[in-house]
Amino acid sequence: MLKSVCEAALAAEREGVGAALVTVVGTEGSTPQKAGACMLVREDGTCVGTIGGGCVENEMVRRARLAIARRRPELASYELTADQAGEDGLVCGGRMQVFVDPLEPEPVLLVFGAGHVAVPLCRMARMAGFQVEVADDRAQFANAERFPDARAIVVEEMGAAAARMSLGPAAYAVVVTRGHRGDADALHAVLGRGLRYVGLLGSRPKMVHVFAELKQRGVAPAELERVHVPMGLGIGARTPEEIAVSILAELIAVRRGVPPGQVGSLKAPLPGRLREAP
């Protein structure tokens, strides 16, 4: 069974499907399965493997789907009592501890525009665990010399380039082209494709101009609301390298499921901290 669960986990990663590994990590008393039993739960609720069936398994499938949506692991304790068993009639009288671990496919960063910000962003994103793909219609910018860590470099206009890139639920699109038309073409190509993240570099006036064009092309308002613009966290960035850091920080926050309102400093006041003298 372990082999089939592992194969299912690898298949989910290849297909970009959300999934969670559910493993029994401890038991007390009489239980339908012992420590080590596991199953893979996909985001649609289908499973490979088992941790014992009945009420326990149904509850863990529910929790696994929540963990996939929240992108956070969970350690659950489950008592096999008559009240818990319900209509299933599975009353063992024991206790199970189950670890639910959401599995995510390797994230892919799609960078539309190979200018000054793209170079440090791609370099740092690869270090942070992202696969990187770059698109630009200028070969003198989009090349292996400037982007040695990119797994794909596409030299075409933005719409055609997007068709050759890894669009999907594990993809993060960053639009940093040299002009409004390129921005609009890239966004038009990726919106509505179920990407994890879509961001646009630029000011709010630029956003108004680009969004107006996209509305004329028939892009739904709900899709436009998904675009992160201005892209990146507010750290006072000015240089291309600093802007790249601010963008990557936002990508990491989205990847780790940190709500926008909770993104902030880790600094906490020290107990009894003395005020500095003026």
Average pLDDT, the chain: 88
DSSP state of 170: T
pLDDT tens by residue, 197-215: 999 998 888 899 999 999 9
In this prediction, residue 274 carries a pLDDT of 44
In this prediction, residue 275 carries a pLDDT of 45
Burial of 117 (0-12, 13-18, 19+ CB in 10 A): buried
Q: Decide if domain 108-260 falls under CATH 3.10.620.30.
A: no
Q: Which of 14-23, 121-130, 151-160, 262-271 has the lowest mean pLDDT?
A: 262-271
Q: What is the torsional sign of CA 156, 160, 162, 164? A: negative
160, amino acid identity: A
Q: Which of 30-34, 106-110, 217-221, 273-277 has the lowest mean pLDDT?
A: 273-277
Is pLDDT at 89 greater than 60 in this prediction?
no
Q: Which residues pair with 89 in a beta bridge?
A: none
pLDDT tens by residue, 152-167: 999 999 999 999 999 9
In this prediction, residue 212 carries a pLDDT of 94
| Confidence bin at 92 (pLDDT 50/70/90) | low
pLDDT tens by residue, 225-269: 999 999 999 999 999 999 999 999 999 999 888 877 778 777 765
Residue range 119-136: mean pLDDT, rounded: 97
Q: Which residues pair with 154 in a beta bridge?
A: 135
The domain limits of the chain are: 2-103, 108-260
SS3 4: helix
Chain position carrying tokens 């990726």: 190
| Omega of the bond leading into 230 within 30 degrees of 0 (cis) | yes
